Amino acid sequence: MVRKFQIPKEYLKGKRENYSSWDECFMLHAVVAANRSKDPSSQVGAVLVDKNNRILSLGYNGAPNVWDDDKFPWVKEADTAAHTKYPYVIHAETNAMLNYKGDNKDLEGATVYTTLYPCQNCAKFLAQAGIKRVVYLSNKYEGTEDNNAAATCFNYCNIKCEEFSPKLQRRLTVSLLPNEGITEV
């Protein structure tokens, strides 16, 4: 005989209503990851999430591993391009992929949440890794050649690229003080 247990109805209530959606949760992680960046002019964060809503890795724009951050050219302009950050800095989305030390097959069909629309370089790497969805927070370079090339890459590679659309338009405050956590303002 199968024994059936049932919880009385009056106890099946009281769930929080203003909890984060998956998209909100992962974009929050991307925003937090961006805060790790040492780049004085641009802080970008990215989160890779598999098909089962599990976080694979985080990334932010930064210097290659081992390169001392204090000996890194964070400047945008110099006497030669080789003295600027551009040839060396690794973007958040690419870093998130490189930071993942599991099986590359896990990236197939994954989603990347990024605080900035990917550049064309990251776009082709994401495509090659098998990422199938991109959710971005800002597209401040929309319409530039680089931005158009990234969009073209997503289009031809059947990658769904969508602007982040939260359940509710709201501003959250994150506190690192004990017992405060995230509050809505």
145 is catalytic: no
| Euclidean distance between CA atoms 23 and 58, whole angstroms | 15
Contact call for residue 97 and Zn ion (CB under 5 A): no
For Zn ion, the closer CB: 119 or 134: 119
Contact call for residue 91 and Zn ion (CB under 5 A): yes
| Euclidean distance between CA atoms 156 and 40, whole angstroms | 34
Q: How far is the CB of 122 from Zn ion (least distance, A)?
A: 3
Q: How far is the CB of 45 from Zn ion (least distance, A)?
A: 12
In degrees rounded to 5, what are phi and psi of residue 81?
A: -60, -30
Contact call for residue 85 and Zn ion (CB under 5 A): no
In degrees rounded to 5, what are phi and psi of residue 21?
A: -75, 170
Contact call for residue 58 and Zn ion (CB under 5 A): no
What part of residues 112-131 is at the interface with Zn ion (CB under 5 A)? 119, 122
Q: Single out the catalytic residue among 93, 142, 163, 180.
A: 93
Whether residue 115 contacts residue 45, with contact meaning beta carbons closer than 8 Å, is answered with yes
List Cα–Cα distances, 98 to 94, 101, 138, 182, in angstroms.
6, 7, 23, 29
Q: How far is the CB of 121 from Zn ion (least distance, A)?
A: 5
Label each residue of 65-92 as H, E or C.
Answer: CCCCHHHCCCCCCCCCHHHCCCCCCECH
Instruction: State the number of binding residues for Zn ion (CB under 5 A).
Output: 3
Q: How far is the CB of 120 from Zn ion (least distance, A)?
A: 8
- List, by residue number, the catalytic residues: 93
- Residues at the site binding Zn ion, with contacts judged by CB under 5 A: 91, 119, 122
